[in-house]
């Protein structure tokens, strides 16, 4: 278990930030840590797999690759799955589930492909142990993933269980909430070093602010939850306990203030309760108030991170959605453009601040009459977005010396 092939999937656009995070957590580099499409691949130990589950803010799961073979038919998938020593990972007491994803697979039915893999796993256990584990499609103990390309099949076992964005603290949430992993990706992309103030003026249920507060306090994101590896045969309770207690001991008082506000007081209540569960009630300062009116929460300039109202998020941000050209716009109650007014408010009252906005609207800078100094491609689930950086200069509509990044 000291030389495993791991794959950590993440949101598109986040791969480079995840590779940096994995390097920081494990020290791996070079051929032992490769950045791919939709995730990073690494050669690491079982202990590293547990550590990454506990500490990674950006990965969606920690998967162990167990097979990588060519295939042409469902029978090839059966043979590949039959050759994997599943019995060294779990027993017949644990339930399991097989999920299949594909890119340009020639197979007609992914459900049938999954059925063949499931049969192979069950048949191997019956041949080796005389009985087979049960299948549970709702709450399995063990998740097996198969990814199919045009001619190769890769089999993984999932050490995480529930996806890693489920930190264990967000019980109160509004419509279309931002996933914790994407909030963490926004923080990573901004380069925020937890040494200056951070503020989310459209905080909703508090995801960005709470993630930032945990970063400032060095709280491991997986501290409150359990993982699938705890039900696997390689699991050693004393090793996991040592990792968990080490993470707990590394917590510290906040290194920078974190602020959040929202026009909907109901959402501020949600954020307050979530912050309490996340262990940062004394770190993050949450207030009600319209983003178009809130003044800077600190005398020292800092970083604003915003996942502003668009599409489903418009209603929860307290503004109305109007469809224009097939795209929903955020408008204020008097019919004005929310983002144009927000930019004017920032230019007047937030000199020295850096604002990062995640949006699917590629024309947002021109609508805000601001020139972005950087744009980072990032996907919010199925929605292609850009994370725009704006450097606030008082009274200036455009920063003349700024140029868009890649």
Residue 318 has what pLDDT?
40
pLDDT tens digits for range 251-292: 999 999 999 999 999 999 999 999 999 999 999 999 999 999
Residue 393 has what pLDDT?
81
Q: What is the CATH number of the domain that holds 343?
A: 3.40.50.150
Shared domain check, 281 and 147 = no
- Range of weakest confidence among 37-46, 305-314, 325-334: 325-334
Shared domain check, 50 and 190 = no
Evaluate whether residue 397 is within a structural domain. no
Evaluate whether residue 174 is within a structural domain. no
Is the predicted pLDDT of residue 403 greater than 80, yes or no?
no
Is the predicted pLDDT of residue 346 greater than 90, yes or no?
yes
Average pLDDT score over residue span 62-81: 97
Cβ neighbours around 255 below 10 Å, total: 14
Is the predicted pLDDT of residue 310 greater than 70, yes or no?
no
Average pLDDT score over residue span 295-317: 77
Evaluate whether residue 245 is within a structural domain. no
Residue 336 has what pLDDT?
55
Is the predicted pLDDT of residue 158 greater than 70, yes or no?
yes
**pTM of model > 0.85:** yes
Residue 323 has what pLDDT?
30
Residue 2 has what pLDDT?
74
How sure is the predictor about 61, in pLDDT bands with cuts at 50, 70 and 90? very high
**What's the structural domain count of the chain?**
2
pLDDT tens digits for range 23-35: 999 999 999 999 9
Shared domain check, 213 and 124 = no
Is the predicted pLDDT of residue 294 greater than 90, yes or no?
yes
How sure is the predictor about 176, in pLDDT bands with cuts at 50, 70 and 90? low
Shared domain check, 278 and 186 = yes
Evaluate whether residue 241 is within a structural domain. no
Residue 122 has what pLDDT?
97
Evaluate whether residue 231 is within a structural domain. no
Is the predicted pLDDT of residue 321 greater than 70, yes or no?
no
Evaluate whether residue 301 is within a structural domain. yes
Q: Which domain holds residue 215?
A: 180-220+253-391
Evaluate whether residue 326 is within a structural domain. yes
- Range of weakest confidence among 49-53, 121-125, 210-214, 359-363: 359-363
Shared domain check, 205 and 81 = no
Residue 381 has what pLDDT?
85
Shared domain check, 377 and 290 = yes
Shared domain check, 272 and 135 = no
Residue 79 has what pLDDT?
98
Residue 382 has what pLDDT?
87
Shared domain check, 139 and 283 = no
pLDDT tens digits for range 117-145: 999 999 999 999 999 999 999 999 999 99
How sure is the predictor about 172, in pLDDT bands with cuts at 50, 70 and 90? confident
pLDDT tens digits for range 361-394: 999 999 999 999 999 999 988 889 999 999 998 6
Between 393 and 340, name the one with better pLDDT: 340
Is the predicted pLDDT of residue 327 greater than 50, yes or no?
no
Shared domain check, 315 and 262 = yes
Q: What is the CATH number of the domain that holds 34?
A: 3.30.2130.30
Percent of the chain having pLDDT more than 90?
Answer: 84
How sure is the predictor about 335, in pLDDT bands with cuts at 50, 70 and 90? very low
Shared domain check, 146 and 49 = yes
Evaluate whether residue 332 is within a structural domain. yes
Residue 103 has what pLDDT?
92
Between 95 and 394, name the one with better pLDDT: 95
Per-chain mean pLDDT for the chain: 90
Shared domain check, 349 and 313 = yes
Is the predicted pLDDT of residue 330 greater than 90, yes or no?
no
Is the predicted pLDDT of residue 395 greater than 90, yes or no?
no
How sure is the predictor about 171, in pLDDT bands with cuts at 50, 70 and 90? confident
Average pLDDT score over residue span 206-217: 97
Shared domain check, 278 and 146 = no
């Amino acid at each position: 278990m000291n030389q495993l092939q791991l794959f950590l999937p993440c949101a598109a656009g986040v791969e480079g930030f995840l590779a940096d995070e994995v390097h920081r957590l494990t020290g791996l580099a070079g051929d032992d840590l490769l950045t791919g499409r939709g995730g990073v691949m690494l050669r690491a130990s079982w202990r590293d797999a547990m550590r990454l589950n506990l500490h990674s803010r950006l990965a969606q799961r920690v998967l162990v690759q167990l097979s990588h073979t060519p295939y042409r038919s469902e029978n090839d998938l059966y043979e590949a799955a039959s050759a994997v020593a599943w019995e060294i990972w779990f027993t017949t007491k644990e339930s399991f589930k097989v999920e299949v994803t594909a890119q340009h697979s020639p197979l007609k039915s992914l459900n049938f492909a999954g059925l063949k893999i499931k049969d192979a796993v069950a048949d191997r256990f019956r041949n080796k142990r005389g009985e087979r584990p049960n299948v549970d499609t709702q709450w399995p103990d063990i998740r097996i993933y198969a990814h199919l390309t045009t001619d190769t099949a890769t089999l993984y076992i999932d050490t995480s269980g529930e996806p890693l964005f489920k930190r264990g603290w967000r019980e109160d949430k509004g419509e279309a909430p931002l996933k914790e992993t994407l909030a963490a990706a926004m923080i990573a992309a901004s380069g925020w070093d937890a040494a200056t103030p951070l503020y989310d003026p459209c905080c909703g249920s508090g995801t960005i602010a709470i993630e930032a507060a945990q970063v400032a306090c060095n709280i491991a994101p997986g501290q409150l939850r359990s993982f699938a590896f705890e039900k696997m045969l390689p699991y050693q309770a004393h090793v996991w306990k040592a990792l968990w207690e080490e993470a707990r001991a590394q917590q510290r008082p906040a290194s920078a203030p974190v602020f959040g506000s929202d026009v909907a007081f109901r959402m501020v209540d949600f954020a307050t309760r979530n912050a309490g569960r996340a262990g940062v009630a004394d770190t993050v300062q949450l207030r009600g108030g319209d983003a178009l009116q809130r003044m800077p929460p600190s005398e020292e300039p800092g970083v604003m991170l915003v996942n502003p109202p668009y599409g489903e998020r418009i209603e929860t941000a307290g503004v109305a959605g109007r469809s224009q050209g097939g795209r929903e716009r955020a408008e204020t109650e008097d019919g004005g453009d929310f983002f144009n007014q927000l930019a004017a408010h920032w230019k007047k009252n937030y000199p020295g601040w850096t604002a990062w906005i995640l949006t699917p609207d590629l024309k947002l800078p021109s609508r805000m009459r601001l020139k972005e100094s950087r744009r980072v491609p990032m996907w919010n689930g199925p929605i292609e977005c850009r994370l725009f950086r704006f450097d606030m200069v008082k009274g200036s509509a455009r920063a003349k010396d700024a140029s868009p990044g890649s």
